Amino acid sequence: MASTNNHSDSACRLMHHLAYTYLAHHRAEKAVVLLQAIEALGQADGRVLALLALAQRKAKQPQQALLTLDRITPDTVDAPLATAVHLIRAQALQALGRSDDAYQAMQKYIAGRQRLPATSYKEAL
């Protein structure tokens, strides 16, 4: 049984790295599929969900991105990732034409960035 879990963990790590690579090369739709597979395997933590939301936003699925972000519980992510979540949320809200809500999310992102050492949201993911 432990061997099966090790293979599953290794497969999920590989899919996570591939998804990140797909995002870096403007293939968000492919990243979404891989990250949803990780989720289906029950291996999606806050970091995977945040990357999934980013991929969904880039794949022009902003409403789905917001639903994914809503599943991230604040106590399960570190400060840099929580800050990145605000930025992804702002971008998804703006894509939906919800400018006032996007502004509020961006204000939370800016406030979070001011409390962090110099890191980027890409490093958080």
Split at pLDDT 50, 70, 90, the class of 1 is very low
Exposed, middle or buried, 116 (CB in 10 Å: 0-12/13-18/19+)? middle
Split at pLDDT 50, 70, 90, the class of 125 is low
Average pLDDT rounded to a whole number, residues 99-123: 84
Is the model's pLDDT at 123 over the cut of 90? no
Is the model's pLDDT at 23 over the cut of 90? yes
Which CATH code for domain 2-124?
1.25.40.10
All residues at 6 or more sequence positions from 21 whose CB lies less than 8 Å from its CB, including other chains: none
Name which of 98, 89, 43, 83 is nearest 65 in CA terms: 89
pLDDT in tens, 24-65: 999 999 999 999 999 999 999 999 999 999 999 999 999 999
Split at pLDDT 50, 70, 90, the class of 118 is low
**What is the dihedral sign for C-alpha 64, 35, 89, 22?**
negative
- Domain limits of the chain? 2-124
Split at pLDDT 50, 70, 90, the class of 75 is confident
